[in-house]
A = this chain, B = another copy of it.
């Protein structure tokens, strides 16, 4: 590439960036100029061929055509598998070092699921019986009573209720509350790992890059306490084979729990409707004030 060629290519990029100079909204201007700058930097760096550019156009078009109104959002899947969703999560949920880490919300939350009593079972499909116990506290360790924990996970077939018509309403979903000492108890099944949908362009991309589509087993939480930042996170099974290679980069070391096998009851399960043996995991969620 000669200096002349380099200069004329740089001029194209500059003109494209400057075309947004008069955007009346300063934030829109900033976003479009930064996006255009980085998009051009990518094209210049790899010296994209016309054929590759057209493959990109076709990929984006198919990704759009794969999206429907409700069940499938292939662009979110693309954002997830490129790590963008997780980066946006990190940027928007910066928190003090001792508050609980966040992770991606994901597309499978359903609002308005049943309220469940302390220790109530939310699993209506088979699986390995589990009790998830713990506490919700502030950053100084004080109990937060009456916190609402909205919880969701897949059935053993890797599908969420709502996504899978065969599952009963509210299966593996529910809204729990902490008691007066900040404790909660969730009767469920041990989460399983599952693949993200691979029958679209994103699946083709993963396959071409020899990336697998699996997410490690996890239980979703959205925890709300008035006066505290809403906490959206997962708890991951500590022994999952995909912890190091989550297809959407959601894993954090601090969010791993052990589902230990229990052959006897103790204070933490006495009085709860759960048969021996079962598996038990514990976690303390630390909420940061707003």
- Please give the distance in Å from A12's CB to the nearest CB on chain B: 5
In contact, A210 and B31 (Cβ under 8 angstroms): no
Q: Quick one: which of B23, B89, B249 contacts A15, CB cutoff 8 A?
A: B249
Measured between beta carbons, the chain B residues less than 8 angstroms from A270 are none
Interface residues of A in 166-220 (CB under 8 A from B): 205, 208-211
In contact, A32 and B209 (Cβ under 8 angstroms): yes
Interface residues of A in 53-88 (CB under 8 A from B): 53, 57, 60-65, 67, 73, 75-76, 79, 82-88
In contact, A208 and B34 (Cβ under 8 angstroms): no
- Please give the distance in Å from A123's CB to the nearest CB on chain B: 30
Measured between beta carbons, the chain B residues less than 8 angstroms from A23 are 208-210
In the complex, residue of chain B having the shortest beta-carbon distance to the beta carbon of A86:
B12
- Please give the number of chain A residues whose Cβ is less than 8 angstroms from any Cβ of chain B in the complex: 73
In contact, B43 and A60 (Cβ under 8 angstroms): no
- Verify if A109 is at the interface (C-beta below 8 Å from B): no
User: Chain copies in the assembly?
Assistant: 2
User: Looking at chain A's contact residues, is the secondary structure mostly helix, strand, loop, or mixed?
Assistant: helix
Of A3-11, A157-165, A261-269, the one with at least 4 CB within 8 A of chain B: A3-11
A17 to B81 Cα, complex, angstroms: 11
A9 to B93 Cα, complex, angstroms: 11
Which residues of chain A have a CB within 8 Å of any CB of chain B?
Answer: 1-2, 4-5, 8-9, 12-13, 15-17, 19-20, 22-25, 28-32, 34-50, 52-53, 57, 60-65, 67, 73, 75-76, 79, 82-92, 94, 97, 205, 208-211, 245, 249
Q: What are 13 inter-chain pairs, A to B, with CB distance below 8 A?
A: A9-B91, A12-B90, A12-B249, A16-B86, A23-B208, A32-B209, A38-B39, A38-B42, A39-B82, A40-B87, A48-B91, A50-B92, A60-B63
